Each structure stands twice: as C-alpha cells, then as structure tokens.
Amino acid sequence: MSKLPTTPQSFFEHLQDIHYSNPDAYWFVEDVGKPRPGTALQSVHTFSKHRGHLEMALIATGAASRSVFVSPDAWITELIPSKDWPHGNQSKQVTARKKHFADLARTSYPDTKIHQYAGDAVCIMLYGVQQLWKKTKSN
C-alpha cells in the first residue's frame, strides 16, 4: 500500500495502470464535497474539485461502470457505531479518528501492513464489498 501520486497526470496514469491490470475490479470512492457541519467552504470546494477530477479519470480509463461512490456517513455509521469514534474537525479529533479507522482496517487484514493514512480507504473498501455482497445475496 502506498500514498497516491500527487500530480493529476501521474494520478491518472496510476488509475490506468490499476484498471488495465485489474479490469474487473470495483472502485469504491468516498463521495466527498458536500457541506457538513464544521467543514470550511474552502475544503468543500477543494474536495468537490478533486471528486470531479477523479470521476472524469474513472470515465477516461473505462472504470466508471464499476465505480461506486460511497458517502462518508454511510460507511462510517455502518462500520463504526457513532459512540465509538471521535467526533469533530479539530486536528486532534481527526488524528484520533484516522487511528480508529486504521485499527479497524488492521483487524480486518492482520497480515497486511496498513498505514494510518490508508485506514479510511480500507474501511471504504470494506463497506463497499459488504454492500456488494448484500446485493448479491438478495438477488
């Protein structure tokens, strides 16, 4: 597991590489960019812009049909009861929440080294897989 590339071009190439080597993979993407209590407007603008870039990159690579956008409220409330995770947008609370998500991800994948920065991404994937499994079982 590694951090994502930092430029739009290298990020797009990274997505292409993943899609071409795993064309049947699902893409679980956090649907950010909506106003939330305590979130600065600049953050909402930045997240919305990045979400748009990501959506366009998924379309351009041909991965859009297997992309699932997941709201933060959906995956967080499904995987972690509200009383069990730190609330708030201050740095201390965000760090504690990131640690909480990483710990959950490590519990699910004990043989994989999961860095704290990637814990929420793994949790989004866990949630997405659970939802696909539920949908498959109900059909």
Q: What is the pTM of this model?
A: 0.80
pLDDT, tens only, 78-93: 887 766 666 666 778 7
pLDDT, tens only, 99-114: 888 999 999 999 999 9
Q: What pLDDT is recorded for position 90?
A: 72
Between residues 16 and 76, the one the model is more confident about: 16
Q: What is the largest CA-CA distance in the chain?
A: 43
Give mean pLDDT, residues 5-21.
Answer: 91
Contacts of 8 (CB under 8 A, 6+ apart): 53
